[in-house]
Structure 1
Amino acid sequence: MGKTNRPIIPKHTVLKELHIHVLQRFLVDFVDVSPKLSDGEPYVPEEKIQMDVIHENNQAKDSFADLYLKAVKEYKKWFSNWQAGSPINIQTIRNTIVPLLEAGVESNNHIVKLHHYSTKDEYLYHHSVSSALIASFLAKKMNLERGEWIQVGLAALLSDCGMAKIDPKILFKQGSLTEAEYDEVKQHPKHSYRMVESIPALSKGAKLGILQHHERLDGSGYPFALKSEKLHIFSGIIAVSDMYHAMTSERLYRAKQSPFKVLEEMMKAQFGRFNHEIVQTFITHMTNFSTGTKVKLSNNDLGEVVFIESSQPTRPMVRLQQNEEIIHLKNHLDVYIEEVVG
C-alpha cells in the first residue's frame, strides 16, 4: 500500500517491466504472484528457470564465441539505453549472460584468449563482458558456490554501467584525459552503485563489489580510498579481473600486452594493493600448462612446454620448434610467452 492508502499495484495486474520498476523504486523486494502466467502457462520461479531451462538450452549449438559476441552486442544496446536514462533490466541481462558464464568457467582456454576479441573502438563493451567472464571463472576457482560466482559475474558486468552517466566526449576521447576528466571518470563506481542498489536480484556482496571494484588494499584506490578491512571479497575478485583485461586489451590510448607478461606484472604488483590469495589463484589457473602445450614466444619463436616450476609458472622450460633447443624462460627475462597456440 502507498501513503494514499491505495495499492501501489492492484491485484490481478499482469506484471510488465514498468510495474517491476515501480516496485523496485518503492523498495519492494518481492510480491506474491499467481501460479499461472497471463497466457495460462504455469509460472516457474526464476531460480528454477536458471537451473533447468537456461542450463538445458545451453547444452547445444552456440559456441563460446557465439555466446560471447551476442553478449557484447546486447551489452552495447543496454549501455545505450542506460545513457538515455532507462533502468537496468536484470532478468534480460541474466538470460544473456548466465549461459555465457556457465560456458566460460569450464576452461581457462576461453579466458586466456579473450584479448583477441576486443577492439579499441568497442573496448568499453568487450571489457564489461570479458571482466564478467574472468571474475566468475576466478570466483569458481576460489570454490565459491554457483550462486555466488554468478553474482560475481553479474557484478563485474555491471561494475562500469555507471560510465553511461559520464559525458560521452570524455568516455570516448581519443587522447589522454585531463586531471579534471579523470576525476569525473573516477565517479563511475558511485553511478554504477546507484543504478543497481534497488535491484533485489543482486546480492549485497554484488552491490559492494560494484561500488568497491577500484578500491585497493592500501587505500590508494577510488572513489572512497577504502582499505583492506572494509573491502568485500567480491570487489577484490572484480578488481583483479578488471585490471587483467584492461592490460591485455587494445585501447584508444594504450596497446595490448601479452596475457602472460601481464600475469608476471600482477605477481610483482600484487603486494599491498591486491588480495594475495585472489591473485595467486588466478595466476595458478591461468598458467596451468600441460606438458606439450604449444606456445608462441615474444620473439616469434614457436615451441612446446616441457616443464613448469611452481614458483615461476609464467616462465616454463620450452623446447623450440626450429632447432629442438630447450630454453628456460626464467633465464631469458627479455623473452616471454606471447600466447598459447595449441
Structure 2
Amino acid sequence: MIKLEVTNLEPGMILAEDVYDEDGLLLIAGETRLHGMHIDFLTRKFVDYVYIFDVVKDDVEKYESTPAQLEAAGQLAVEEKYKDTVVKFKDIYKSYKLGRVPVFEVLDDTVEPLFQSILNDESFARRMWQIHAYDDYTFDHSVRVSMISGLLAKWLGLDFHIIKEATLAGLLHDIGKCNIPDEILNKPDELTDEEFKVMKTHSILGYILVKDIPRLPYNVQMAVLQHHERVDGSGYPHGIKGLEINYLSKIVAIADVYCAMTQDRVYKKGVHPFDAMSFIINKCHETLDFSISRIFLSNVAYFYIGHQAKLSNGQVGEIIMTYKDDPARPMIRVGEEYIDLRRNLSIEIETIWDL
C-alpha cells in the first residue's frame, strides 16, 4: 500500500485502511472503492492523506484469514459504524433540543459512513440485521430507520443521490420528538389518548426544525413531515393519501413501521421479523405503499435464511427458503422433514435466532 495525499486521489482507488476523523470516529472503511463523492467528503473533513492499495487488490488476499474471522471482522466494522452514527446523532438531537440547528454538512457527514456501506458493501445488508441496541430507543430507532430506508431505496433501484436522501430522511424522521415533553416521550408504559395526541405533533415539530436548513433536500423535509401519512388517508398530520404523499416519505414509513415493531421498548418486547412481515402484509396493505412494501419484505426475508426457528407446534428447524410472493411464511427444515408455512397455515413461527 502507499500513502497518498487526498488532493491526489482519483475515483477507482481502493482504501487500504480505515479513515478516521480527529475525534476517532470512522469516516470511510478500508477496502472501499473511492468515488468522487468520497474524495469530496474527505476534503470537507480536512483529511490530509490516506493509505491506498498500490495495485488493484486480488481476492486471494481475502483468504489470509479464515471465513469465520473475516465474518467476525466484517460484523464488527458494521457495528462500529452503527455506534459512531448513534453517537453523532445523539449530539445532533441534543443540539436541536437546546435550540441550536446543525448545518447541513453536519447532518450529511453523520450519514456518510452508513451511506457508503449501503452503496458499496454488499455484505452490509446481511450484517446490519444482527446489530443489537446500543443506546436508548429514540437514538437507536432513528439510526436503524436510516439504514433500512437507505437499503430500501437501493433495492428499489433509485439513483445514488436519492439513496443518500433516504438515509438522511430516516435519521431525521423523528427529530421533532426533541420538543415532546420528556414525561411523554420516556413514559415506561403505553400512552393515553391525550398523550398520544401530543406525541403525534412530532412530525410537524420536526418539519419546523428542518425546513429552513440550507441545502437540505426537499424530499428529506417532506419525509420528516409525512412519514406517518398513509396511502388510504388514515395517517397524520394532514390525512393526505396516495400520490399526494412524497415517495421518500412512503419509504421511510415502511422502515419506521418495521423497526418500531421489531425493536424492544421499556413496556413492550419487539416481535420477531416474520411477525412484523406478516403484519405489514395482512394489516398494512391499504395503509402502506403496496409495491414498495413487497420489495422491502422480499429482500428482508432473504437475510434470515439459515436462522433457527421455533414453531408453534413445538418443532425447531432451520429457515431454508423464503418466497417473494409470501415472504412472511418461509420453508423450514426440521430434521429430514420440510415444512412449507405457505401450505401449513395453522403453524406459526414463535421465535427465531442465529447460530
TM-score category (smaller protein)? 0.7 to 0.9
Q: Which residue number in structure 2 is paired with residue 284 of structure 1?
A: 298
- Confirm or deny: 8 A CA contact 2:309 2:349 kept in the other structure: yes
Deviation of the 1:337 alpha carbon: 7.1
CA distance in 2, matches of 1:96, 1:57: 20
Residues 1:72 and 1:57: Cα distance change in structure 2 (over 3 Å): farther
Q: 1:75 to 1:307 in 2, by over 3 A?
A: closer
Structure 1 match to 2:57: none
Q: How many residues are treated as equivalent by the alignment? A: 291
1:92 and 1:203 map into 2 onto residues whose CA distance is 14
Q: Please say if 1:240 is aligned against 2:254.
A: yes
The correspondence of residues 1-342 of structure 1 with structure 2, limited to 5 A, is 49-50=40-41, 63-104=77-118, 106=122, 107-114=124-131, 116-117=132-133, 122-288=136-302, 293-299=305-311, 302-320=316-334, 323-330=335-342, 331=344, 333-336=346-349, 338-339=351-352, 341=354
Distance 1:170 1:308, change over 3 A: closer
- TM-superposed deviation, 1:207: 1.0
Measured in 1, the distance between the counterparts of 2:215 and 2:315 equals 49
- Deviation, 1:340, is 5.7
Amino acid at match of 2:181: D
Aligned mates of 1:52, 1:209 — CA distance in 2: 29
After superposition, what is the alpha-carbon deviation per residue over 1:85-135, rounded to whole angstroms, capped at 9, x for unaligned? Answer: 111233123223211132245343134334x3266xx00000111000000
Moved more, 95-104 or 274-283: 95-104
SS at 1:319's partner residue?
A: strand
Q: Is the 8 A contact 1:72 1:126 kept in 2?
A: yes
After alignment, is 330-339 or 225-234 more displaced? 330-339
Amino acid at match of 2:153: A
Larger strand share, 1 or 2 = 2
Q: CA deviation at 1:261?
A: 1.4
Deviation at residue 154 of structure 1 after TM alignment: 0.5
The 3 A distance-change label for structure 1 pair 223 and 324 is same
Moved more, 95-104 or 230-239: 95-104
Q: What's the CA shift for 1:314?
A: 2.8
C-alpha distance in structure 2 between counterparts of 1:232 and 1:185, whole Å: 22
231-240 or 254-263, which moves further after superposition? 254-263
TM-score by length of 2: 0.74
Please give the alpha-carbon distance, in whole angstroms, between the structure 2 residues aligned to 1:235 and 1:134: 13
8 Å Cα contact 1:101-1:132 kept in structure 2: no
What amino acid sits opposite 1:49 in the alignment?
A: D
Is the Cα contact below 8 Å between 1:294 and 1:302 reproduced in 2? no
Select the structure with the greater relative contact order (CA < 8 A; seq sep ≥ 6). 1
Identity of aligned residues (%): 27
The alpha-carbon deviation at position 289 of structure 1 amounts to 5.6
TM-score after normalising by structure 1: 0.76
Q: Give the direction of change, closer, same or farther, for the CA distance of 1:335–1:196 in structure 2 (3 Å limit).
A: same
Q: Partners of 1:78 and 1:86 in 2: how far apart?
A: 9
Contact 1:176 1:253 in 2 (8 A): yes
Secondary structure at 1:298 match in 2: strand
Deviations 1:192-244 (A, max 9, x none): 11111112322111111111000001111111111113101000000000000
RMSD: 3.0
Q: Which runs of 5+ in 1 are unaligned?
A: 1-44
* Aligned residue type for 1:326: Y
The alpha carbon displacement at 1:58 in A equals 12
Answer whether contact 2:298 2:323 (CA < 8 A) is retained. no
CA 1:59–1:71: 2 relative to 1, 3 Å: farther
Distance 1:212 1:307, change over 3 A: closer
**Which residue number corresponds to residue 6 of structure 2?**
none
Deviation, structure 1 residue 247 = 0.2
Structure possessing the higher radius of gyration over alpha carbons: 1
| 1:174–1:124 distance in 2 versus 1, CA, 3 Å | same
Where does the alignment leave 5 or more consecutive residues of structure 2 unmatched?
1-35, 54-72
Q: Distance in 1 between matches of 2:108 and 2:50?
A: 14
Letter in 2 for 1:341: D
How many angstroms apart in 2 are the aligned matches of 1:220 and 1:64? 37
